[in-house]
Structure formats: C-alpha cells, structure tokens
Amino acid sequence: GVPAKKINVNQVAYAPGLPKQATLTSTATVAQAWALKNSAGTTVATGQTVPKGTVDPESGDATHLIDFSSYDTPGTGYTLTVGTETSFPFDIATDQLKKLRYDSLAYFYHNRSGIPIEAQYVGDAYARPAGHLNVAPNQGDNNVPCLATISCGYTLDVRGGWYDAGDHGKYVVNGGISAWQVLNTYERAKLIGDAAALGDGKLNIPEKANGVPDILDEARWEVEFLLKMQAPDGMVHHKIHDQNWTGLPLLPHQDPQARRLSATSTAATLNTAAVAAQAARIWKTIDPTFSAKALAAATKAYAAAKANPNKIADPNDGTGGGSYSDATLTDEFYWAAAEMFTTTGESSYRSDLTSSTLYKGKSLNTRGFDWGSTGPLGDITLALVPNGLPAADVAAIKSAFTAVADGHLAKMAGQAYPAPYSPTEGYDWGSNGLVANNISVLALAHDFTGQAKYREGVFQGLNYLLGRNPLSYSYVSGYGEQPVKNVHHRHWANQLDPTLPTAPPGALSGGPNSALQDPIAARLLTGCKAQKCFVDHIEAYSVNEVTVNWNSAFAWISNWVAEKITT
C-alpha cells in the first residue's frame, strides 16, 4: 500500500455553504495550530485542532478534528497543514461534485453484456466487442441450459443485462436491486427533485437521443434481462454465469466458459416481481407495451413466489460465480408486496403488505441494506410514491427513516472518520456500498423533514468515500488526488496488462472488509482495524471489487448531492 496522510480530507471538494471538516492523526494531547492555504500557498484561514481524546476503534488512530467551516471562498488547490504535515489538495467548489452523478451512472453502460461498448460513447480505451453473444470463443447467453444437477428441461435466451462486477456473472438478486435503485433515483427526482437533470441526452449511451430519459434506458437494459430469467412456471432463475471461474484479465468476448442457469429461487422471483412492478408504473405512459409486459411478468412472478415461498438458492452453488444465497425472505416478500401494491392498488397486495412484520419501516437499521436485506427498498417506495395507505402509516415509515438517520448522526459525531454505518462486528464485504446506502437514508430524512443536520450528514458521509478515511484513498476511481486504481475487474486490469485501462471515472470500490476473504487481503491486512482492512490491489476481490449494486447506491447519492448544490 501507499503511505497514508496524517491529515485526511475529502480529496475532491467540499461544497460551499456546508460544514468542512478534516481529520489529523496525532497522539498529541493538546490542540495544534492548523492553517488552510490556497493554491498559491498563502494562508487564508487558521485555527486550532480539537483532540478526540480517545483512540478511534474503527481505525486505531489517535486523532484531532480540524473544522474549517468558517472559510467559504470557492477555489481549487487548497491544502491544510499542521506543523510539517500537509493534506492532499482539494477544492471548495461544486463542479466535480456535479460531474459525479453522470460518471457514476456511466458505470452501467461500461458493464453491459450482449452489446458492443462503442468508442463514440466511452472513448477508445474502454471500447470492446459485445460479450456472451455466442461468437467464439464465447459460448453465449443465447440458449443457456440449467446446471446438470437441476436439468430443468429447457434453455433460455438470457442475453443482455449488466455484468455483476469484476466477473461475468449475472445474478438476479443483485442486478434487481441495482436496476431498482437506478430507477428510484429517477422516480424520486420526478416526484420531489430535479428530473430535468436526468432527461434524455444526459448520458453517453446509444439511446441518448430516443426521447426517453437516459437513466431509464440504462435501467431498462437490466430490466429486460430480469424478465428473460423468468421460467415458464413464473419462478425466476437465481443467476447465470460461467461453469468455472476465469482468471484476470479477460474481456467478456474472450470468455470461453460454458454458461449455465442455476435453479429458480423465491428470492430472485420476488426481486423480479418488485423491479418489474416498479418498471410498470415508470413506463406506464412512456411505453405502455413494455409497461404491460413488465406488469404481467411481475404478477406471474409474485403468484409463483407465493406458491413456492421457501425455495432458497443453494449456498454451495459458488463455482464459476458467487452464490448470492439468502435464507431470509420476509424482506423480499415485503418489498415485492410494496411495489405490487404501489403500482396496482390491489387489495390482495395491500393486505400482504400491511400484515407483514416489517410493515412501516421495521427492517430499517443502522447496518444498512443490500441484496440480502431488501425491506428498506419497499419503504423508500412507500414513503415517496403516492399510494392509498393511511397518512399515519406513511408518516410512520418516514419516522423510521429519521430515527435511523438520527442513529447515524449520533455515531458519526463520535467517529474520527465519520461514516454512517454500524455493523454488528467489523466491516462487511462491500462496506462502501452499505455506507452509500446509509447516506441515502440521511438524504431521505432530509427530503422528509427539510432539516439541515441530515443534509450535512450526507456530505460528511461523502467525505469518507472521497478520502477522509484512515488510508487516504478516494474510493471512487478518477476522483481525488489518490483514487483507487486497481479495482478487481477483468477488463479494467491495467495492473496486470498495461495495454488495458484502469477503471473509468466514477466507479466505487467495495472498500474495507474485516473478514479478509481473499488471499491478498489475508496476506497483507492481518490484524487490521475495520476502516483499514483495504488494499488497492486487483486480486484483492473481497475489498477492492466494483459492482452494479455499489455503484447504484453511489449513483443515487451522487444525484442527490448534485441536486442539492445550487452554486
């Protein structure tokens, strides 16, 4: 790894008009003098650090707080100094923060399957042939059989969708939450935000002049894939991926492995029902035919899941792809009922929803939500999209968000490197994705109450992802002075092959994972404190992979942030 800085800042930019804080690592027990310098090296503000007094449990660092909020003059190339220590340079400005919304969404086109990625949209370095269309050596996703162990008796055409991550698998439960979150970014903006910023022509994708918002075109690429994963009986296959794991680097069109469908699962079926129901209402007037097709698939899936309520994906089906197995389905049932009810208003979905033990925000917590914990997605929809529920119930859902947001703020106030995230033990695989989702909870708390403290919490959380952390990394490629460069990805594999690119701007690394679940992390990070269980190494997949679900969370918050900075 690279040496960490002693003064850690948001390496990208602090927004004018909002609090500006940084962290000094120091065992000094008394306050230290800090200076803020502009790009010419002239001191523009000074102050005293505030010693924390205790060692921070999540980093192991003794730290001081540097609060330079009082300085608010926009500019670039500022640095903070304490004695001989200097921070990375940063801006007090909004330009970079505003670009993040589109770069984070660009991630999805880069990772599309079944379509050539064209230089006219991504530049020469990232252009590549279509993957998994049955052009040798690919075996293609054109007519994929099931695993021999389940021999389902049919093949499916499951071309398209997004690759999950650094691998070439396509997993319904993870692709589904990602498509949902991209769609929710739009749906929220349309209802209470700035939908104009998400109109047609905003992304560099093939559909950028079709009259439909590009963010919807991008999400539809995945929704269409989810619909193709539905079996004739209405259940949905859990995933499709290579028969054996491949090595790095390997571009999608070079993958020689056979592709196989895993069994159908209740989780994948409910996930598809939820996303297809959401899509049905979003495309209702934009494309009524697609809307009706999505609603029919959702209806069929929901009924099939109720008839097969406990078909759990095999936790040992992890050869050639991840297992994404989840034995608790209460939350998937809740989320699907919430989406079906919101779209249709039908009483059967309403009673499934209101009789759930999770009704009214019960699944929201300060660890956060992810592919295995989807209840909060239902709550977000119920809190944002008009439905026929009693006003008191909707108010209770919103209160659940503010209560969890208050929990995040209380924790962040005591942290050396504030990040809204309270896992039960250590940091999880994909902690940055959980942090990003929890930032969205703070953002929603601001949407529901208008209180400034929640907006400030959003920007504080963003600081952590963009460099105010104990390893001095911006976890977003292409942003900040020391961004991650070697994320685990079979195409963005410059570390292994100099003719290949590093990640394009806007990809969020999974981030610290206390469990050290790959050989590189296990070798280099033994004994690490939670926020330090990270290395920017391409083979360290348990800490430095990129995925659709982490980028969908990051895109959601990046769009919220861009909406809130008006200068």
Q: Is 489 a catalytic residue?
A: no
Using CB under 6 A, count the residues that bind ligand 9MR: 12
Shortest approach of ligand 9MR to residue 324 CB, angstroms?
A: 6
Q: Which residues contact 318 (CB under 8 A, 6 or more apart)?
A: none
CB 74 within 8 A of CB 17: no
Q: Order the strands of the 170-171 sheet from edge to edge.
A: 170-171, 239-242, 259-261
Helix (H, G, I), strand (E, B) or coil at 29: coil
- The nearer residue to ligand 9MR, 216 or 546, going by C-beta atoms, is 546
Q: State which of residues 545, 551, 557, 562 lies at the interface with ligand 9MR (CB under 6 A).
A: 545
Q: Is 187 a catalytic residue?
A: no
Smallest CA-to-CA distance from 205 within 116, 88, 333, 78 is with 116
Q: Is 255 in the site for ligand 9MR (CB under 6 A)?
A: no
Judged by CB under 6 A, the stretch of 26-34, 160-168, 327-335, 530-538 that binds ligand 9MR is 160-168
Alpha carbon 107 to its chain centroid, in Å, reads 11
Judged by CB under 6 A, the stretch of 154-162, 164-172, 471-479, 530-538 that binds ligand 9MR is 164-172
Compute the distance between CA of residue 92 and CA of residue 192 in angstroms, rounded to an integer.
27
Shortest approach of ligand 9MR to residue 98 CB, angstroms?
A: 28
- The nearer residue to ligand 9MR, 145 or 322, going by C-beta atoms, is 322
Going 341 to 345 to 349 to 355, the CA torsion angle's sign is positive
Shortest approach of ligand 9MR to residue 427 CB, angstroms?
A: 12
- The nearer residue to ligand 9MR, 98 or 238, going by C-beta atoms, is 238
CB 435 within 8 A of CB 511: yes
Shortest approach of ligand 9MR to residue 95 CB, angstroms?
A: 31
DSSP state letter for 205: S
Q: Is 172 in the site for ligand 9MR (CB under 6 A)?
A: no
Shortest approach of ligand 9MR to residue 323 CB, angstroms?
A: 6
- How far is residue 28 from each of residues 22, 50, 270, 321, measured CA to CA in Å? 16, 10, 54, 49
Q: Is 164 in the site for ligand 9MR (CB under 6 A)?
A: yes
Compute the distance between CA of residue 466 and CA of residue 481 in angstroms, rounded to an integer.
10
Shortest approach of ligand 9MR to residue 353 CB, angstroms?
A: 26
- The nearer residue to ligand 9MR, 163 or 349, going by C-beta atoms, is 163
DSSP state letter for 347: H
CB 533 within 8 A of CB 354: no
Q: State which of residues 140, 252, 430, 512 lies at the interface with ligand 9MR (CB under 6 A).
A: 430
Q: State which of residues 165, 329, 443, 525 lies at the interface with ligand 9MR (CB under 6 A).
A: 165
Task: Write out the binding residues for ligand 9MR, residues 275-294 only, by CB under 6 A.
Answer: none
Site string for ligand 9MR, 299-338 (x = CB under 6 A): -----------------------xxx--------------
User: 168, 241, 488, 489: which is the annotated catalytic residue?
Assistant: 488
User: 167, 255, 339, 456: which is the annotated catalytic residue?
Assistant: 167
Q: Which residues pair with 260 in a beta bridge?
A: 241
Q: Is 447 a catalytic residue?
A: no
Cα-Cα end-to-end distance for the chain: 37
User: 317, 518, 536, 563: which is the annotated catalytic residue?
Assistant: 536
Shortest approach of ligand 9MR to residue 433 CB, angstroms?
A: 7
Q: Order the strands of the 50-55 sheet from edge to edge.
A: 7-8, 21-25, 62-67, 50-55
Q: Is 547 in the site for ligand 9MR (CB under 6 A)?
A: yes
Compute the distance between CA of residue 4 and CA of residue 219 in angstroms, rounded to an integer.
38
Q: Is 103 a catalytic residue?
A: no
Q: State which of residues 14, 429, 473, 534 lies at the interface with ligand 9MR (CB under 6 A).
A: 429
Q: State which of residues 58, 103, 167, 224 lies at the interface with ligand 9MR (CB under 6 A).
A: 167
Shortest approach of ligand 9MR to residue 502 CB, angstroms?
A: 18
Compute the distance between CA of residue 443 and CA of residue 446 in angstroms, rounded to an integer.
5
**Residue with nearest beta carbon to ligand 9MR:** 322
554: which 2 tokens?
Answer: 């990051």
543: which 2 tokens?
Answer: 């800490």
- How far is residue 416 from each of residues 25, 34, 61, 86, 92, measured CA to CA in Å? 9, 17, 8, 18, 21
Name the residues annotated as catalytic: 167, 488, 536, 545
By the criterion CB under 6 A, which residues form the site for ligand 9MR? Answer: 164-165, 167, 169, 322-324, 429-430, 541, 545, 547
